[in-house]
Amino acid sequence: MNKDLLNRLIRYKKIATKMKELGFIRVFSVNLADALGINPVKVRKDFSFLNIKGKNKGGYDIDYLIKKIDEILGKDGVEKVIIVGVGNIGSALINYPGFENVGIKIVAGFDIDPKKIKEDAEIPIYHLDKMKEVLKKEEIKIGVLSVPEVAAQRVAELMISYGIKGILNFSPVRLKVKDCIVNDVHIEAELENLIYSVKFEFKNFANKENKDDHTN
């Protein structure tokens, strides 16, 4: 499945879940399309491609839709995730309560700094030495990597050797790994990109406005 479709599916599910919480039983392609800023035809095409069936003019049953999307996403319950490197980013993720709503459970954090270790916390933070034991016991396949740049490659290899198959990488390092999917999150680069785009876009905009003022 291509990444755009995958992203849309995740967002369809998020909206359907919100609507369910609000007491709705059905959702229409136009509702989903509005929320995503796309054409309802695209939503219907996605669903027909994925064999998600709606009722003619009656929209989609929300429970059915969520169940189908979960099936497609391969979710059969709660997905367990670990956080390696409990600095500013790692601890923000550990403290974020929103993951549970989408079936993600942060089960533990790992760090090498003795000051960060809190084994009796609700979400325990263990020394990195315990990672093997915890990963094997809990059969965890997904990890967030939020250690400093210098440690990223080594720690990623360690995670993979203990069974991790997917890493969400917050370090600026391009990880060289095998048998593992890495998704990079480059917050600084994204922000720089946005700042540049805003400057460029609104500079042109301002120039155009000045020009218009001049001609009037």
Residues that bind ligand ATP (CB under 6 A): 84-90, 110-113, 116, 128, 146-148, 151, 155
In angstroms, the CA 113 to CA 203 distance is 46
Between 32 and 164, whose beta carbon lies closer to ligand ATP?
Answer: 164
Phi, psi (rounded to 5 degrees) for 109:
-115, 160
Q: How far is the CB of 92 from ligand ATP (least distance, A)?
A: 8
**25 versus 92: smaller Cβ distance to ligand ATP:** 92
Q: Is the CB of 59 or the CB of 90 nearer to ligand ATP?
A: 90
Eight-state DSSP code of residue 100: G
Measured from the CB of residue 114, what is the shortest distance to ligand ATP in angstroms? 9
Q: How far is the CB of 197 from ligand ATP (least distance, A)?
A: 25
Side-chain-side CA neighbours of 167 within 13 Å: the count stands at: 30
Q: Which residue lies nearer to ligand ATP by CB, 66 or 155?
A: 155
Token duo for residue 89: 């980013």
Tokens of 52: 């998600």
Of all residues in the shown chain, the one whose CB is closest to ligand ATP is 87
Query: Tokens standing for 101?
Result: 């709503």
**Smallest gap from residue 98 Cβ to ligand ATP (A):** 18
Instruction: Determine the Cα–Cα distance for residues 211 and 34; give it in Å rounded to an integer.
Output: 35
